[in-house]
Amino acid sequence: MIKNKSVRILAIAPLSRGLGYAVMERSDKLVACGNKAILRDKNAKALAWVNRFIQFYQPDVLVLPNVTAADTRRAARIKALHRKIVAWAGKKKVKVRLVSVTQVRTQLLGEPKATKFAVAKTLAEKFPVEVGKRLPPKRRPWMSEDPRMDIFDAVGLAFAFWPSDK
Amino acid sequence: MKSLSNYLQSQRKRLSLSQEEVGFLLGIRGMNKSAKVCRDEKFAREPSLLDALSYEVIYGRPIRELFAGLYEQAGQDVAARAKFLGFRKLRKPDVRKQETIIQLAAKAGVNSSKQ
Nearest to A38 by CA among A61, A58, A69, A12: A12
Task: Give the pLDDT of residue B66.
Answer: 92
**Sign of the C-alpha dihedral computed for residues A110, A116, A117 and A123 taken in this order:** positive
pLDDT of residue B58: 94
Nearest CA in chain A to B9: A32
Regions in chain A scoring below 70 on pLDDT: 1-5, 165-166
Residue of B nearest to A59 (CA): B1
Is B9 near chain A, with CB under 8 Å? yes
Is the ipTM beyond the 0.90 threshold?
no
Which phi-psi region, left, alpha or beta, contains residue B89 (left: φ > 0; alpha: ψ -120 to 50)?
Answer: beta
Q: Give the per-residue pLDDT at A91.
A: 87
- 3-class SS string, B81-98: HHHHHHCCCCCCCCHHHH
| pTM for this prediction | 0.82
Specify the CATH class of B8-66 in words. Answer: mainly alpha
- CB contacts < 8 A (A, B): 26
Give the sheet arrangement for strand A61-65, strand by strand: A29-37, A18-26, A9-14, A61-65, A95-99
Domains and CATH numbers, chain A: 9-137+144-161 (3.30.420.10)
Which pLDDT tens digit goes with each residue over B23-54?
A: 999 998 877 888 889 999 988 888 899 999 99
Which chain B residues touch A31 with a CB distance below 8 Å?
A: 4, 7, 10
Numbered ranges of CATH 1.10.260 in chain B: 8-66
A8 neighbourhood in chain B, CB within 8 Å: 1, 4
Which tens digit of pLDDT belongs to each residue from B75-111?
888 888 888 887 777 677 778 888 888 888 887 655 5
Nearest CA in chain B to A56: B42
Question: How far is the C-alpha of B43 from the C-alpha of B47, rounded, in Å?
Answer: 10
Q: Is the pLDDT of residue B21 over 80?
A: yes
> What confidence score (pLDDT) does residue B111 get?
54
pLDDT at B112 over 60: no
Amino acid in the structure at residue B55: Y
